[in-house]
Amino acid sequence: MFRGSIVALVTPFKSNFEIDFDAYGRLIDFHIEKGTNGIVPCGCTGEAATLSHDEQKKCIRFAVERIAGRVTVIAGTGSNNTREAADLTKYAKEVKADGALLIMPYYNKPTPAGQIAHYTTIAKAVDIPIMLYNVPSRTGMNMDPKTVAELFKLPNVVSIKEAAGSVDQVSQIKSLCDIIVMSGDDSLTLPMMAVGGTGVVSVAANVVPAEIADMCAKANAGDFAAARAVHYKLMPLFKGLFFETNPMPVKAALARMGLIENVLRLPLVSMSEPAYARLEPILKDLTHLPQ
C-alpha cells in the first residue's frame, strides 16, 4: 500500500472558489491511466487548511468512490486539534479509505510526549493504517527518529512521509525501526529510496505521474542507474514546483496543461508572473505543451 508513487492531489476550485468535482474526477482518472500507485486527497497540496471539515469529508468520499479500489486511497486527515483529526480519521475509515495521512500538529509545536499522545489517541480510536507526516517547514517542529520508533510500536502506525529534507534522518529512522518510509520531498525521493525508502508522496506527480511512477518502480526493482536518469531529467521540475509556496506552482502548471482552473483559496494566490516565467520553460520541456 505504501509504495511507489502516491500523488498529493491538488483540490481544484471553480472561479467562485467552490470545489470543482468534475475536474477532481478527471484528475483522478488521469492518475490511474498514467500509473500512479496511490492518491492522497486533502493533504497540504490539496489545500486542506482552507477546506471546511464538511468539504474535506466530501473530497475523501468522492475520491474513494471515484477510485473504486483501482489504486490506494490515503486520506489526509491531520489537524493540530487531536479531536478533529480523530473525527476525520474515523470518517476516512467509515467511507473505506485504505489509510490515513496525519501531519504532525502544526502551530501548537508539541513536545515528543505530546506528539506521542496525539498519534496514540488517534491510532487507538481508529483501526486504519496510519502514515505519519513529518514536515518541519510547515509545522515548526521536527519529529525525532526516536519518537517515530516509539510510535511504530502502535499496531496501525505503519508508515511515515518524511519531509525534513534529510537523508540522514531517514537513515536514523530505519536504523531504529522497520517503519515504511516514503519521501515527502520529490528531489530527495531517489536518495531516500537508496537508504530504505519505498517511494514518495509526490507534488510533482500531479504534473508528470507516469515519470514519477516509473522512477519509483525502477528504484524498487533495484535498477538505480535507470532511476537516476529519470531523477536527473525531472530535477528542474522538482525545484520549479517550489519557486513559490506549494501548491501555487503546481496549480499553475496543471492549469497550463488544461486540467484545472488556476484558482486557490486565500490566503494563497496565483503564482506571480516572474516566477511562472521561470517555470513555463520547464513545463514545455517535460509535458509537451504547445508553444
pLDDT one-digit tens code per residue, 237-248: 999 999 999 999
- Give the whole-angstrom CA distance, residue 179 versus residue 156: 11
Contact 76, 41 (CB under 8 A): yes
The verdict on residue 249 lying in a domain is no
Residue 291 has pLDDT above 60, yes or no: no
- Give the whole-angstrom CA distance, residue 117 versus residue 108: 14
Q: What is the CATH number of the domain that holds 145?
A: 3.20.20.70
The verdict on residue 37 lying in a domain is yes
The verdict on residue 22 lying in a domain is yes
Q: pLDDT at position 142, please? A: 96
Structural domain total, the chain: 1
- Give the whole-angstrom CA distance, residue 176 versus residue 84: 30
Residue 290 has pLDDT above 60, yes or no: no
Burial class (CB in 10 A: 0-12, 13-18, 19+), 167: middle
SS3 18: coil
Helix axes 53-67, 82-94, angle to 10 degrees: 30
* Model confidence pLDDT, tens digit, residues 19-32: 999 999 999 999 99
Summarize the confidence of residues 145-155 as an average pLDDT: 98
Rounded percentage of the chain residues whose pLDDT exceeds 70: 98
The verdict on residue 245 lying in a domain is no
The verdict on residue 93 lying in a domain is yes
Using the structure block, give the residue that is written with the C-alpha cell 513555463: 280
Q: Where are the alpha helices (DSSP H) in the chain?
A: 21-34, 53-67, 82-94, 112-125, 136-139, 145-151, 167-176, 189-194, 209-220, 224-240, 248-256, 273-287
The reply to whether 107 belongs to the active site is no
C-alpha to C-alpha distances, 48 to 96, 206, 280, 282, nearest whole angstrom: 19, 16, 26, 27
Residue 200's H or E segment, with its range, is strand 199-202
The verdict on residue 291 lying in a domain is no
Residue of 133, 174, 218, 276 marked active site:
133
Q: Which three cell numbers stand for residue 244?
A: 513559490
Using the structure block, give the residue that is written with the C-alpha cell 510526549: 113
* Model confidence pLDDT, tens digit, residues 261-285: 999 999 999 999 999 999 999 999 8
Contact 37, 72 (CB under 8 A): yes
Query: Does this model's pTM top 0.85?
Result: yes
Q: pLDDT at position 1, please? A: 86
- Give the whole-angstrom CA distance, residue 219 versus residue 231: 10
Contact 40, 56 (CB under 8 A): no
The verdict on residue 228 lying in a domain is no
Domain residue limits at 19 = 4-221
Confidence of residue 119 (pLDDT cuts 50, 70, 90): very high
Contact 103, 139 (CB under 8 A): yes
Q: pLDDT at position 187, please? A: 98
Residue of 57, 93, 161, 218 marked active site:
161
Contact 220, 3 (CB under 8 A): yes
* Residues in contact with 281: Cβ distance below 8 Å, sequence separation at least 6, in sequence order: none
Type of residue at 189: T
The verdict on residue 290 lying in a domain is no
Pick from 208, 259, 248: which is nearest to 23 by CA?
A: 259
Give residue 232's Cα distance to chain centre: 21
The reply to whether 161 belongs to the active site is yes
